[in-house]
Structure 1
Amino acid sequence: MLRESYDIHVEAAGRMLQGAAGANLATPELNRLAHRWIRATVARFEYTYHAGGRERTRVYHAMSGREADEILGLPVSEASGQYVGIAASRRASIEAAAGSQLAVPEPGHRLDAEVKGFRTLERDLVEGKVPARGRLRIWISQPICSSCRAMASSFETSYVIDTTIFQWRRSVGPDDVSLFRKLDQHRRLGSSTLRAWRRAGSGVTGRTGCLP
């Protein structure tokens, strides 16, 4: 589940690299992105609501830290346009909604994956893209911090949305077979794929065979 959210970001970065063949991208920038994404928190927000007499779900995919085009210094005019093929879902981003009701992130937590997820869903609520009073389920690749807990509480209270958070245990010991361990292995494969795309200059290729 979180591997899918991670892959959406990696594949979008691959499209950015493909479209920036003449941007003279330096290896250190690509290595910086690969290194940061190995360590990044991954979050998946699934918001379920009723509209048109049917139950619907919109999925938000979040990755902590700066966005790929910012790290790479690529001239991508609209990064969200690189996130294709994700019907009924969105890349989560950091912009706050007008008149946001969410708690302000603590210093050092402004770019947390959870902040991006809550802010993006709030924008959709404020803009009328989805109705309030639905049900929100969140999966996070590591335990949630106090700053994001405060934001979750303010979100649930402000929009009357029942929110459930699933946190993965952060462990990468040699005998660990947890979901976090599997995601950690998958992220390392994704970082290698980013470097391979850049070296080959061949754009995005399927990653099904990389799934553990």
Structure 2
Amino acid sequence: MGIIGSTITPFKATAFQTGKDFFDVTEKDIAGKWAVFFFYPADFTFVCPTELEDLGEHYDMLQKMGVEVFGVSTDTHFSHKAWHDTSEKINKIKYAFLGDQLHTLSKNFGVLREEMGLADRATFVVDPDGVIQLMEQTCEGVGRNANELVRKIRAAQYVRNNPGQVCPAKWEEGSDTLAPSLDLVGKI
């Protein structure tokens, strides 16, 4: 069975977030909200800070869309703070970083590389019911694009709020959608 459509499993992780003390996050904290879990291999690396910065530049927009964002790696919350304090790119980020040193989240989402103890580069979007609606996973050297993530979240929110409608390829907010029916078969 695939992970899309499955419900997230219970977890507890300690977070670091700019301007806050360390704090715990569980699945209960995201109940009733949209959430992004943005897994990356490790702090103090190369592609990761470029992706995290890109996502950080979209954080305010995502917050306005009702979406909470969590950067997740198998590092500790202490490592996240140290990286924040020493990296110009990471220092600008406002969203929370979850420490996953026990690999709970990485295993729950199926992205742990057991032989290395690191998470794959993967993104999961969870709806307000705790159901995984979107996922993206890339190889180590390929970074993600936050613009495309935002587009996909808008589409997922639209579909949730408009039962019977679906968003075609390259759909942008305000564009035409489709209402799947027998009348459309063979006409698209």
Q: TM tier, shorter chain?
A: under 0.3
Structure (1/2) with the larger strand percentage:
2
Name the one with the larger helix percent. Answer: 1
Q: TM-score, normalised by structure 2?
A: 0.27
TM-score, normalised relative to structure 1: 0.25
